[in-house]
Chains A and B, each alone.
Chain A
Amino acid sequence: EDQVTQSPEALRLQEGESSSLNCSYTVSGLRGLFWYRQDPGKGPEFLFTLYSAGEEKEKERLKATLTKKESFLHITAPKPEDSATYLCAVQGSGGYNKLIFGAGTRLAVHP
């Protein structure tokens, strides 16, 4: 069964303190791994799609990496506006191209 586990559940950082969020997954035939940012009361905002092990993508202070079993979202020198819940999702080859979401990591960056 396809599954996504994100850790930690919550993370508190000081402004400028770099860290990484983890997304572990099991899926039949990975088609894509997705990272989203979700602010309270809003819909998820798309960040990255990764397709194969070894791939990396960057956007401002965020960098996403992918291995065969997990993905990391590295946050470099975070700012308070980076505070949000970060969601990871995978899409496998079975079924109807559905996304399986993790529960997310709640990130709080304090000045």
Chain B
Amino acid sequence: EADIYQTPRYLVIGTGKKITLECSQTMGHDKMYWYQQDPGMELHLIHYSYGVNSTEKGDLSSESTVSRIRTEHFPLTLESARPSHTSQYLCASSIRQSTDTQYFGPGTRLTVL
């Protein structure tokens, strides 16, 4: 059973605001990920991390940034939100091994007006 948490679950904000989406896991997993998912569409990887102080961009270009200062915490920040950022953001984590099953949090649904 996965223990991975995301806050807030829902967020409605105005254009130009800075936001941080929080993600925490209590499983001690080395690897963490951020995905973006629009309704009825595939999940697309936007950021990932292999461990503390390690962050990389994924396949889908994103204006967001991430940090990994602690193993259990992987926040995502948008410096200036725009309506095009409206989407569902999903955080996941996995054990570092050759085939890693990723466990997902409940997601944050972001709406930018």
Query: Given the complex of chains A and B, what is the CA–CA distance between A65 and B90 in angstroms?
Result: 27
Q: Give the size of the chain B interface in residues (CB under 8 angstroms).
A: 28
| In the complex, per-residue mask of A34-58: 1 if CB is within 8 Å of any chain B CB, else 0 | 1010000111111001010000000
Provide the residues of chain B in CB contact with A99, threshold 8 Å: 43, 45, 102
A-B interface pairs (CB < 8 A), number = 59
Which A-chain residue is minimally distant from B31 (CB atoms)?
A97
Asked if A72 is at the interface of the complex by the 8 Å CB criterion, the answer is no
Interface set of B (CB-CB < 8 Å, partner A): 2, 6, 31, 40-45, 48, 50, 56, 58-59, 90-92, 98-107, 109
Provide the residues of chain B in CB contact with A106, threshold 8 Å: 40
Which A-chain residue is minimally distant from B45 (CB atoms)?
A98
A103 touches B100 (CB 8 A): no
A96 touches B107 (CB 8 A): no
Which B-chain residue is minimally distant from A9 (CB atoms)?
B40
Provide the residues of chain A in CB contact with B109, threshold 8 Å: 41
Provide the residues of chain B in CB contact with A49, threshold 8 Å: 99, 101
| Residue in A42, A46, A101 whose beta carbon sits within 8 Å of that of B43 in the complex | A101
User: Which 8 A-B residue pairings sit nearest by Cβ, starting from the closest?
Assistant: A43-B104, A32-B99, A101-B43, A31-B99, A101-B42, A44-B104, A43-B107, A43-B106
Provide the residues of chain A in CB contact with B90, threshold 8 Å: 43-44
Q: What's the least CB distance linking A71 to chain B, in Å?
A: 15
B2 touches A46 (CB 8 A): yes
Provide the residues of chain A in CB contact with B103, threshold 8 Å: 46
